[in-house]
């Protein structure tokens, strides 16, 4: 059988068909997917003393999940056979191709009477293959099925998403502007209130910080890398390396409409020197004040993201302070602060124009119990209302998100509903 020839001249389709059966064609239902009787299911004992296992544990964020006795290959997915089992991000195809360092020397087939379900295959491997090492930590990271991080559309019916390690949660700020505005002052406040404290905190903890790595500079292992992209008026991004006074010069280019946007990102690198979003997430800010796609919905905006692990370096009040600054100095039309767990994405805070909420709607919001905190905010472009679902961001759940959107819908506030949940509800 011939197929597409890809990297290194390998016919991947033919290779896939000759590898573990069933890896490429997922069944139509979740129940059928969990039935492994028609495919080969393999288990392999882990050598916890091997460099390969240490590599796997670090790069798959398994440190909190102890030292499981075995790995299990089930329908083209790899699982650490611990309690609970954890789906790894690679596939059995990676395993067969030798691109996966596992610490497993030999793979054995799971007996047919134990491979009808993933649970039975995992249980058999735990009892019969390898030795359990260090136990699972009581403070381990949650799995996606434990934090309601459902995948979109029909993927929840055909994949084992619930056993993946949940991504680090993050807060996302988005503020839309009615016109071009001078955002240099706000960006400097962001840098002083967020980016610099994160870099300083990382360095104080003993980590390396690399500002604006050039193309030929060596990558750091386990360091914090900070980079900046500038989008020109034609919409093309280009890396820039501001430092010292050049930060202000770069921000002035945006204010003078010589560039369309600026994006700065800080992320931690893994042991190979590549971005490790699953481990730490990122801290980023974007300012786009000149539309580069005329005739499309490309609003002028400022946006930011702070992944939860980086919050340890920050004053928790900094986010609201930055919103207050934006409202006071920029022509804001609306805004939101979303709580993001990966696939689920909900409106933790809605920053609504006061004009959109008449006295009846505002009183209804106060009496509804949907919002734990409601605050009036003055602004350059008019007054706003800060509608906060929970005072603690980590308590914000799917139920809170649904309550917020249902309130907006029942109150006739469709504009706020659509803005707040544009990426949350997936039917």
Nearest to residue 235, comparing CAs of 282, 185, 285, 296?
296
Interval 356-411: pLDDT, tens: 888 888 899 999 999 999 999 999 999 999 999 999 888 888 788 888 888 888 87
**417 and 340 fall within a common domain:** yes
Starting at the earlier edge strand, list the strands of the sheet with 104-109.
86-91, 77-80, 70-74, 42-46, 104-109
The predicted structure's pLDDT at residue 418: 59
pLDDT at 175: 93
Residue 25 within a domain: yes
* pLDDT top residue among 334 and 12: 334
Give the pair of three-digit tokens for residue 403.
Answer: 């309550």
Instruction: Judge whether 24 lies within some domain.
Output: yes
Let me know if residue 314 belongs to a domain: no
Q: Are residues 214 and 77 in the same domain?
A: no
Is the pLDDT assigned to residue 424 strictly greater than 70?
no
The whole-angstrom separation of Cα 422 and Cα 177 is 18
Within a domain: 321: no
One domain, residues 22 and 73: yes
Question: What beta strand segments (E) does 165-281 contain?
Answer: 170-177, 209-211, 224-231, 237-240, 261-268
Q: Residue 152: which pLDDT band, with cuts at 50, 70 and 90? A: low
Which candidate, 405, 423, 425, places its Cα nearest to that of 415?
Answer: 405
Domain shared by 62 and 122, yes or no = yes
pLDDT of residue 20: 29
pLDDT of the residue at 149:
66
Residue 55 domain-assigned (yes or no) = yes
| 215 and 147 inside one domain | no
Tell whether 199 and 242 lie within a shared domain. yes
Tell me: do 156 and 22 sit in the same domain: yes
Tell whether 117 is covered by a domain: yes
Same domain? 144 vs 220: no
- Average pLDDT (114-139) is 89
Domain boundary among 285, 304, 323: 304
H-helix or E-strand spanning residue 49: none
Which of the 8 DSSP states describes residue 150?
A: P
- Look up the domain containing 48 and give its range: 17-163
How high is the pLDDT of residue 41? Answer: 85
Two tokens, residue 15: 């290779």
Q: Cα separation of 78 and 90, whole Å?
A: 7
- What's phi and psi for 197, nearest 5 deg? -60, -35
pLDDT at 294: 60
**Nearest CA-CA partner of 137 in 91, 88, 86:** 86
Decide if 219 is inside a domain. yes
Note the helical H segments in 69-163.
Answer: 92-96, 118-128, 155-158
**SS3 label, residue 125:** helix
- Residue ending a domain, among 100, 130, 163, is 163
Residue 31 pLDDT greater than 50, yes or no: no
- With bands split at pLDDT 50, 70 and 90, how would you rate the model's confidence at 333? very high
Picking from 97, 132, 163, the residue at the C-terminal end of a domain is 163
Q: Is 76 left (phi over 0), alpha (psi -120 to 50) or beta?
A: left
Same domain, 400 and 280: no
Residues 129 and 229 in one domain: no
Tell whether 130 and 208 lie within a shared domain.
no
Tell me the C-alpha distance between 130 and 314, whole Å: 43
Number of domains comprising the chain: 3
Q: Which two tokens stand for residue 201?
A: 């905190």
């Amino acid at each position: 059988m011939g197929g597409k020839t890809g990297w290194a001249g390998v016919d991947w389709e033919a290779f896939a068909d000759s590898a573990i059966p069933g890896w490429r064609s997922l069944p139509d239902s979740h129940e059928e997917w969990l039935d492994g009787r028609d495919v080969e299911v393999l288990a392999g004992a882990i050598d916890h003393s091997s460099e390969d296992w240490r590599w796997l544990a670090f790069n798959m964020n398994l440190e909190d999940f102890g030292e499981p006795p075995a790995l299990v290959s089930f329908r083209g997915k790899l699982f650490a056979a611990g309690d609970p089992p954890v789906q790894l991000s690679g596939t059995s195809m990676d395993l067969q191709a030798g691109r996966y360092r596992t610490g497993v020397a030999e793979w054995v087939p799971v007996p047919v009477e134990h491979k009808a379900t993933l649970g039975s295959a995992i249980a058999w491997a735990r009892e019969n293959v390898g030795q359990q090492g260090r136990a699972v930590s009581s403070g381990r990271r949650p799995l996606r099925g434990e934090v309601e991080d459902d995948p979109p559309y029909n993927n929840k019916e055909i994949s084992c998403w619930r056993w993946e390690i949940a991504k680090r949660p993050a807060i996302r700020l988005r503020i839309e502007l009615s016109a071009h505005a001078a955002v240099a002052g706000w960006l400097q406040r962001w840098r002083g209130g967020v980016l610099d404290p994160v870099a300083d905190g990382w360095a104080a903890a003993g980590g390396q910080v690399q500002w604006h790595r050039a193309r030929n500079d060596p990558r750091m292992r386990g360091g914090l890398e900070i980079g900046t992209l500038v989008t020109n008026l034609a919409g093309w991004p280009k890396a820039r390396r501001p430092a010292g006074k050049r930060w202000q010069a770069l921000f002035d280019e945006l204010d003078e409409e010589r560039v369309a946007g600026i994006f700065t990102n800080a992320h931690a690198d893994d042991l190979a020197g590549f971005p490790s979003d699953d481990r730490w997430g990122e801290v980023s800010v974007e300012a786009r004040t000149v539309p580069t796609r005329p005739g499309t919905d490309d609003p002028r905006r400022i946006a930011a993201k702070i992944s939860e692990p980086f919050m340890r370096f920050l004053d928790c009040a900094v986010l609201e302070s930055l919103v207050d600054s934006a409202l006071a100095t920029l022509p804001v039309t609306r805004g939101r602060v979303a709580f993001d767990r990966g696939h689920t994405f909900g409106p933790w805070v809605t920053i609504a124009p006061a004009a959109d909420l008449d006295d009846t709607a505002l009183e209804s919001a106060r009496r509804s119990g949907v919002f734990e905190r409601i605050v009036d905010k003055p602004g350059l472009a008019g007054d706003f209302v800060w509608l906060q679902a929970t005072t603690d961001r980590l308590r914000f759940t799917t139920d809170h998100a649904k309550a917020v959107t249902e309130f907006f819908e029942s109150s006739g506030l469709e504009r706020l509903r659509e803005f707040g949940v544009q990426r949350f509800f997936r039917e």
